[in-house]
Structure 1
Amino acid sequence: MLLAALGLDPKNTRSINDLAKRAEVLPQRLRFYEEQGIEPTNEELQRLAAATGLTELELRLKSGLINRAIIERLSAHAQDVAGILGNSPAINSKVRARANKSLKPAFKNALGTLFQGDCMDIMARLPSESVDMVFADPPFNLDKLYPSEIDDNLRKSHYLQWCEEWLAESIRLLKDGGSLFVWNLPKWNTYLSAYLNRHLNFRHWIAVDIKYSLPMQSKLYPSHYSLLYFVKGPRPTTFHADRLPMEVCPACCADLKDYGGYKDKMNPLGVNLCDVWNDIPPVRHAKYKKRKEANELSIKLLDRVIEMSTNEGDCVFDPFGGSGTTYAVAELKKRKWIGVEVGPVDGIIERMESLDEEAEYLDRLRAGYNHLFLPEMERRRKELGRWTVGNIPKGPSRKRKEPDIGTGTGDQRLLEIES
């Protein structure tokens, strides 16, 4: 938008170079600001405005580079501004018009409904405040080839505008106290969180540690995906996060962390879930993938999110169906669900009609939560004379002999256990 505000055609290199020379701004920086949507420095803005006969305020308004100072000035003259713009509230008429289209499910059962089509078309048909949780895993705009043949290489401004459109509809669909989760690259979620902070209540930025061991040049190696967690209203209607087992040495069963020395305060149900998840595996093996053309999410991730933010009978909505993991987990956990996929849905339907194997896997996952020690580890610790749920260390600092963590042998070392 910067070049358009300056009266320049992005394809006209000569005019860009001419203005850059008059404003004493490097032309490559002008193109960088345009492509990345980044605001030029104050000095550059002033020189660009002067070179085009605009004031800095006019240039900011035309290019959309509005800061808080301008927002405050607009707010102070809201009546005058409304008179200029027209007093009718801004309505996404394009989205509302879509609500008039007929809609037929591609699949439906007792708990869920799956639609095939553009998520904006389907969302416009759904009533406001009708779902308890939204989980969104949109395309990452990485120029990947999807079965739907969607354009996954949009200009940055177009991609973010599209994201804000489906986010706005997601917010409308959420009940008060409902939860919104957005799975994306950290790069994009920095922008989306800024948008969501104006509409919802921020809860967490969850870092999910997933490494693909890809070579990187000139950057830190990216090792996590971002999962944004927002709530509609002051607090979530439902929040019951799973607890995890304590970290122990698999060889000698010794404690790997001292938890600040507060073992006497350990909860028998396990350790609090934190906002860095390093136990979510990527779905790589062809045996487990339900969609070979692109990455898909782990059942473990969706199980944790749905368990945390919903109860049985609540409604889960996912506008980007992909392989159908959200719907499969919601179905197995007895949640109602509404799904949308713009591409082929045969794989999702086939998956929903045969969930026995995934039900067994989910049962195994659930058995690993909400225990301070899993049954086998509890038994082994008792045999080795270590503390267990039945005799959690209590009281002030005291000393106790335990086998060495590093060797796993019977060598003794003195450990200080602080309360």
Structure 2
Amino acid sequence: MSFSDQFFRALDVAPGDRREINAFAERSGVPVARLRHYNDANILPSGEDLPRVLAAAGITELELMLAMGRLSRETLNAIQANAATIAKLLEPQPASDAQPQTATAAPRIALETDLGRLYQGDCMDLMPTLDSDSVDMIFADPPFNLKKLYPSSIDDNLKTERYLEWCESWLTECIRLLKPGGALFVWNLPRWNAELAAFLNGRLSFVHWIAVDIKYSLPIQRRLYPSHYSLLYYVKGPQARVFHPDRLPMQVCPHCAGDLRDYGGYKAKMNPKGVNLSDVWWDVSPVRHAKYKRRNGANELPLKVLDRVIELSTDEGDLVFDPFGGAGTTYMAAELKARRWLGIEIGPTDDIVRRFTELEQDRKILANHRKELNALFPTEVLIARERTGWWTTESIRNKPRNVKNNLNLG
């Protein structure tokens, strides 16, 4: 779907001609500012603006919707009913003077371990060379189109439609590569994942929109404070082949290890293995300290996120693919968790290679994280609660029925 001035073009108004835009605004009675908003955001007019625009342009609502690529369910149903006829009209004709495409050089191998391989190059040069239905899980963390300067010198300031077209191109390849039952995770801003979800909904099965609670650096004027990233979770086929999420410890006071909420008569029903993982991940901290950063001058994903995703959706020996290497967190998590892995990074790969030479640092971080999982109270918390008289799963279940729940038991 193209966004570039489709609204003005449908009205037969030159997008860069101020006089034409002003004239149409006067003729339709719709202010210039609103006309520009409809054009720049590719949003259909509504309310009283819609009939005014249609009358001034001499077109129907259906023509405007088709020109802007904003189709209603009713229109889509009509297109489906006439698919054969429409396909003949839209089928591209082969050019008689088309030149044969030249083969692109294969990306070079930058790192290889017993479990994985990292390439340096463009993911769109690598993915077409991989077999269909060959990957168990894909985690994608693409550039967010925020005008950032990357070492690879990629253009991170694309027009909306160009960015979405690019995302759809690599997502199409990801979908092809996934095995039936395989999982796809897409990490991005809610702004972009809202668009990408619409594309994925017609190709994979939606499982979750996961909100990962990580604060942005600064508030943004005239907007709510942005405090989460979006992680889309889809599977290929009707259900996931693997689904075994970690369970989390119960939240307690960091000072006294006491309850932060009243569990009433439900304490005895609490699972000693921990609390169910939800689709809001509140326990992820950004990688800010220089001691833990593996990538100079750019954000990087916490190891906790990739550990959780890999644990949730794969078994040991499964193949994990990440088309945007970044700091190499996906590959490191896969390596430490005995998964096979494959990846590519378009920019310099020195930081990733160096990270693998210091693998024990990440192993220690992962071990410290995992010792807190799959128990309602990790060991240190359990000791603190027993010392201060708070209830534990053992104490609450072994309590005689005629003894009331008191003295710090709730």
TM over 0.5: yes
1:170 is aligned, of 174, 190, 193, to 174
Between 1:3-12 and 1:75-84, the stretch displaced more is 3-12
Aligned with 1:350: secondary structure? helix
Is 1:295 the counterpart of 2:299? The answer is yes
Aligned with 2:230: secondary structure? strand
What is the identity, as a one-letter code, of the residue corresponding to 1:40? P
Whole-angstrom distance in 2 between the partners of 1:42 and 1:396: 65
Q: After superposition, what is the alpha-carbon deviation per residue over 1:213-258, rounded to whole angstroms, capped at 9, x for unaligned? A: 5133222111111111111111111111111112223443332233
2:84 is aligned, of 73, 79, 86, to 79
2:186 is aligned, of 164, 182, 187, to 182
| 8 Å CA contact 2:106, 2:126 repeated in 1 | no
**Aligned-pair distance for 1:346?**
1.5
Aligned with 1:141: secondary structure? coil
Aligned with 1:262: secondary structure? helix
| 8 Å CA contact 2:268, 2:393 repeated in 1 | no
- Matches for 1:213-292 after TM superposition, within 5 Å: 213-259=217-263, 261-292=265-296
Is 1:29 the counterpart of 2:34? The answer is yes
Aligned with 2:109: secondary structure? coil
- Matches for 1:20-419 after TM superposition, within 5 Å: 20-41=25-46, 43-86=48-91, 101-259=105-263, 261-393=265-397, 399-403=404-408
Q: 1:117 to 1:376 in 2, by over 3 A?
A: same
Q: 1:287 to 1:80 in 2, by over 3 A?
A: same
Q: 1:250 to 1:109 in 2, by over 3 A?
A: closer
Whole-angstrom distance in 2 between the partners of 1:143 and 1:103: 26
List alignment gaps of at least 5 residues for structure 1.
404-414
What is the identity, as a one-letter code, of the residue corresponding to 1:400? N
Aligned with 2:406: secondary structure? strand
**Aligned-pair distance for 1:87?**
9.0
Whole-angstrom distance in 2 between the partners of 1:75 and 1:163: 25
| 8 Å CA contact 2:188, 2:230 repeated in 1 | yes
Q: 1:32 to 1:98 in 2, by over 3 A?
A: farther
Q: TM-score, normalised by structure 2?
A: 0.90
Between 1:252-261 and 1:104-113, the stretch displaced more is 252-261
| 8 Å CA contact 2:109, 2:117 repeated in 1 | yes
Q: 1:254 to 1:103 in 2, by over 3 A?
A: closer
The percentage of aligned residue pairs carrying the same residue is: 55
**Aligned-pair distance for 1:4?**
2.7
| 8 Å CA contact 1:140, 1:184 repeated in 2 | yes
**Aligned-pair distance for 1:43?**
4.7
Whole-angstrom distance in 2 between the partners of 1:158 and 1:103: 24
Q: After superposition, what is the alpha-carbon deviation per residue over 1:54-93, rounded to whole angstroms, capped at 9, x for unaligned? A: 33222221221211111111112222212322399xxxx9
Q: 1:360 to 1:19 in 2, by over 3 A?
A: same
Q: 1:398 to 1:190 in 2, by over 3 A?
A: farther
Whole-angstrom distance in 1 between the partners of 2:309 and 2:50: 44
Whole-angstrom distance in 1 between the partners of 2:295 and 2:217: 21
Q: 1:100 to 1:153 in 2, by over 3 A?
A: closer
Aligned with 1:106: secondary structure? strand
1:11 is aligned, of 7, 16, 34, to 16
Q: 1:308 to 1:334 in 2, by over 3 A?
A: same
Whole-angstrom distance in 2 between the partners of 1:198 and 1:396: 54
| 8 Å CA contact 2:211, 2:231 repeated in 1 | yes
Q: After superposition, what is the alpha-carbon deviation per residue over 1:169-226, rounded to whole angstroms, capped at 9, x for unaligned? A: 1111111111111111111111112222222111111111112451332221111111
Q: 1:219 to 1:260 in 2, by over 3 A?
A: farther
Q: 1:367 to 1:349 in 2, by over 3 A?
A: same
Q: 1:114 to 1:74 in 2, by over 3 A?
A: same
Whole-angstrom distance in 2 between the partners of 1:32 and 1:98: 42
Aligned with 1:402: secondary structure? coil
Whole-angstrom distance in 2 between the partners of 1:268 and 1:205: 27
RMSD (Å), alpha carbons: 2.6
| 8 Å CA contact 1:99, 1:122 repeated in 2 | no
What is the identity, as a one-letter code, of the residue corresponding to 1:194? A
Q: 1:217 to 1:396 in 2, by over 3 A?
A: farther
Aligned with 1:392: secondary structure? helix
Whole-angstrom distance in 2 between the partners of 1:324 and 1:176: 26
Whole-angstrom distance in 1 between the partners of 2:366 and 2:291: 16
Between 1:249-258 and 1:155-164, the stretch displaced more is 249-258
Q: TM-score, normalised by structure 1?
A: 0.88
Whole-angstrom distance in 2 between the partners of 1:99 and 1:70: 41
For residue 409 of structure 1, what is the aligned residue in structure 2? none
Q: 1:63 to 1:320 in 2, by over 3 A?
A: same
